[in-house]
Amino acid sequence: MEKLIFSKEEMLKIEKEEFYTALNCIEKLKKMFEQGNVPTAYNEADKQFVNTILDIVLNGRMSGEDVRTKWPSDKTRARYISRHGVTNRYNLEKEFPILTIRNCKGALAKSIDEIDWIYFKQSNNVNDLGSKIWDQWADKNGYIGKAYGYQINKPIRVKTREGKFVWMDQLEQICYQLKHDKESRRIITEMYNMEEIVDMNLAPCAHGTQWLVKDGRLDLILTQRSQDMLTANGWNVMQYAAFQTYMAKAFNLIPGELIHNIGDCHIYLRHLPQIVKLFEANDCKNISAKLKYTGDINNPVKDFNKNLFILEGYEASSVKIGKIEVAE
pLDDT tens profile 10-62: 989 999 999 999 999 999 999 999 999 999 999 999 999 999 999 999 999 99
Alpha-carbon distance 136 to 140, whole Å? 10
2 has pLDDT over 70: no
Is the pLDDT at 65 greater than 90? The verdict is no
Any idea where the domains of the chain sit in the sequence? 83-267+282-312
Tally Cβ neighbours within 10 Å of residue 87. 12
Mean pLDDT of 254-275: 98
Sign for the CA dihedral angle at 16, 22, 28, 30 comes to: negative
Backbone φ/ψ region at 216: left (φ over 0), alpha (ψ -120 to 50), beta = left
Q: Say what the pLDDT of residue 291 is.
A: 98
* Cα–Cα distance for residue pair 113/130, rounded to 1 Å: 7
Residues 171-188 have a mean pLDDT of 96
Q: For 83-112, how does the pLDDT look when each residue is reduced to its tens digit (9 = 90+)?
A: 999 999 999 999 999 999 999 999 999 999
Nearest to 74 by CA among 24, 135, 133, 3: 3
Region 260-266: mean pLDDT is 98
Bridge partners (DSSP) listed for residue 260: 88, 222
Catalytic residues: 205
pLDDT exceeds 70 at position 4: no
- Taking the CA atoms of residue 72, residue 192, residue 44 and residue 93 in that order, the dihedral angle to the nearest 10 degrees is 140
pTM summary value: 0.96
Band (6; pLDDT cuts 50, 70, 90): confident
Return the pLDDT at 106.
95
| Interaxial angle between packed helices 44-59 and 8-34, expressed in degrees from 0 to 180 and rounded to the nearest 10 | 110
Q: Tell me the pLDDT of the chain averaged across its residues.
A: 96
The residues, ordered by sequence, that sit 6+ positions from 137 with a Cβ below 8 Å of its Cβ are 144, 201, 202, 328
**pLDDT for 68:** 93
The pLDDT, as a whole number, for residue 7 is 87
- The architecture in CATH of the region 83-267+282-312 reads 2-Layer Sandwich (3.30)
Q: Where are the strands (E) in 61-159, listed by range?
A: 61-62, 80-91, 156-159
